[in-house]
Amino acid sequence: MAIVTGKQYMQRIDKLNNEVWIKGERVKEKLSEHPAFSGILNSKAALYDLQHNPEMAELLTRTDDTKNDLFNFAFEQPTTKEELRKRRIATQFWARKSGGTIGRSPDYINTAIMTLGSSHSFFNEPFSKNIQHIFEHAKKKDLSFTHTFINPQVNRSPHYLEFSNENENIIAAKIIKETKEGIIIHGARLLATQGGLTDEILVLPVGGNQADPSYAYAFAIPSNTPGLKFLCRESYADTATSKYDHPLTTQFDEVDSVVVFDHVLVPWERVFLYQDLTAVGKIYTEPSVNIMLLFQAVCRQVVKTEFLLGLSESLATTIAITDYQHVQEKISEVIIALEIMQSLLYTAESEAKSNRFGTMVPHAKPLMVASSYYQKTYPRLVEILHLLGASGFISLPTEKDFNSEIGKDLEQYLQAKNAPAKERVKLFRLAWDLTMSSFGSRQTQYERFFFGDPVRLSSSLYQSYDKTAFTQQVTAMLNQNPTEKN
Ligand X SMILES: Cc1cc2nc3c(=O)[nH]c(=O)nc-3n(C[C@H](O)[C@H](O)[C@H](O)COP(=O)(O)OP(=O)(O)OC[C@H]3O[C@@H](n4cnc5c(N)ncnc54)[C@H](O)[C@@H]3O)c2cc1C
**Least distance (Å) between residue 442 CB and ligand X:** 5
Please state, in angstroms and rounded to a whole number, the distance separating the CA atoms of residues 386 and 12. 41
Q: Which residue has the CB atom at the shortest distance from ligand X?
A: 193
Nearer to ligand X, 156 or 485 (CB): 156
Q: Is 449 in the site for ligand X (CB under 6 A)?
A: yes
Which of the ranges 83-91, 221-229, 450-458, 467-475 carries the binding residues for ligand X, by CB under 6 A? Answer: 450-458
Q: Any contact of residue 147 with ligand X (CB under 6 A)?
A: yes
Q: How far is the CB of 108 from ligand X (least distance, A)?
A: 9
Which span (29-37, 186-194, 213-221, 462-470) binds ligand X, by CB under 6 A? 186-194
Element (H, E) at 91: helix 81-96
Closest residue by Cα to residue 379 from 304, 322, 323: 304
The answer to whether 233 contacts ligand X (rule: CB under 6 A) is: no
Tell me: does residue 277 bind ligand X (CB under 6 A).
no
Q: In terms of CB distance, is 195 or 397 closer to ligand X?
A: 195
> Of 172, 192, 197, 384, which lies in the binding site for ligand X, with binding defined by CB under 6 A?
192
Q: Report the first-to-last Cα separation within the chain, whole angstroms.
A: 71
- At its nearest, how many Å lie between ligand X and the CB of residue 373? 17
What is the distance between the alpha carbons of residues 280 and 124, in angstroms, rounded to a whole number?
Answer: 13
Q: According to CB under 6 A, which one of 93, 346, 373, 450 is a site residue for ligand X?
A: 450
Q: Which residues pair with 186 in a beta bridge?
A: 174
Distance between CA atoms of 106 and 320, rounded to whole angstroms?
40
Instruction: Based on the shown chain and the rule CB under 6 A, indicate whether residue 379 belongs to the binding site for ligand X.
Output: no
Size of the chain, expressed as the number of residues it contains: 486
Residue 452 binds ligand X, judged by CB under 6 A: yes
SS3 label, residue 273: strand
Residue 340: how many other CB atoms lie within 10 Å: 17
Pick 27 or 297: Cβ nearer ligand X: 297
Pick the closest to residue 385 from 299, 302, 300, 314 (CA basis): 314
| SS3 call for 267 | strand
206: DSSP letter: P
Pairing of strands 174-178, 182-193: antiparallel
C-alpha 236/C-alpha 245 separation (Å) is: 13
Pattern 234-273, binding to ligand X, x per CB under 6 A? ----------------------x-----------------
CB of 31 to ligand X, least distance (A): 17
- Determine the 3-state secondary structure of 464 from DSSP: helix
Q: How many residues bind to ligand X according to rule CB under 6 A? A: 21
Which residue lies nearer to ligand X by CB, 153 or 169?
153
Q: Give the range of 26-34, 144-152, 241-249, 370-378 binding ligand X by CB under 6 A.
A: 144-152
Binding to ligand X by CB under 6 A, coded x per residue (else -) over 289-328, reads ----------------------------------------
For residues 139 and 77, is the Cβ–Cβ distance under 8 A?
Answer: no
Q: Are 149 and 205 in contact (CB under 8 A)?
A: yes
The answer to whether the peptide bond before residue 126 is cis (omega within 30 degrees of 0) is yes
Which residues make up the interface to ligand X (CB under 6 A)?
Answer: 147-150, 153, 156, 158, 190-193, 256, 442, 445-446, 449-450, 452-453, 455-456
